[in-house]
Chains A and B, each alone.
Chain A
């Protein structure tokens, strides 16, 4: 399966590199996007210095982790973000005629290598944040960071699959999912508590953003000593299950009603 995925990647990469200028612009564009996000945080902190007790470096840690996980998830899940196009131009029908799992085909269909720019960018900020945040890293805290990464990746991927599954039912009016994908990335740059109690509650009980980002982060920064917070990001991985189930449900609906 992995081998096949790599073959897909090779053919897409080869296609992209046909237009070298475009390929380069894309990477540059994505890198600049990450840079812009960084400057946004920097400019705001330039004036305000702290927010809800979190320092600039601490927020940078949160910021870079959100960006790293999102770019990583996007590498694999970008096809789901473009799924509306696949349905409307018949590409998905073509996938149905091939003897491979549809989720796999959608994931393998689109890889945006330009996103590497974002990933590297975020990684650099992450390393910088690690070195300036003044946190002493125990094994537990490192584990928490790793879990946050895994959980966030899973959660973002799940949201992408959810969006694509909705495309089986309608192609219109799905823009609001943007709040949960790009929005989660943008607003996830800051520890979720800054948005107030209600948002935090929503992100704890409805879509587990707080479980992969906020609570483990409290543990990492020493604001909480509850070690079981390290395990909370598992909720992100568990979240994938209902998303996949919904995808299967949507697929059944799609083949019954036609395009």
Chain B
């Protein structure tokens, strides 16, 4: 594996290998000494053009637990604010000897461009409304550790699918791993071209819930909404928000996921978010292990 740009680049074997290695990494994270010497002397640059707390911290923790050197670069207060182009920034990173660049960028496709300009590995940590492959991997890891399997599960992805790179990467990866995905949301926010191979689209959350093994709630991305996609927040939350009553309509074994950050009271009520069937905190923990596995596969061998 040279880069990790899209969940579509992963075949079932590679994805499963990442999840297996993540399991070993998770064991390390449970020890007193949470550190491995594996990537000693390698440099990982976190290049963040967009605000992010958990993803940046997660990648930083992952790289540090593998003993890599980490350089954090955020667009605010850097030369980018002075107008430096992505290409010039890339050359700077190249000159500093970055072995891997983890990039978060508001423009879809930016990581692909970057991959042409630097010699090291590029990891897509979220690009615009396009993809967020490590989030899909950590979601798959979370599903597998809670449910035992992924194949043939029914996963409902609910909410603002249109603007969601998390949804896009999840559809691709879950398809590869053999799950059935149903996209649920208001017609204005569910692009029909994204539906998975044998899944479907529904505009009625209550019809989907009784048959779902996994319900993945998406954040309503107000910052990306330039048009009016739904009449009001209240109406959205009444039709597509997950509350206690809807949680009780789900099968006993079904779990609730959310990539964070949550709009509590909008797409998910605190009762659901804090219930034992919610995996939201586990997802954050698993994120570090999965990113350690990805960094190992990208940097752990001959360049």
A binds B: no
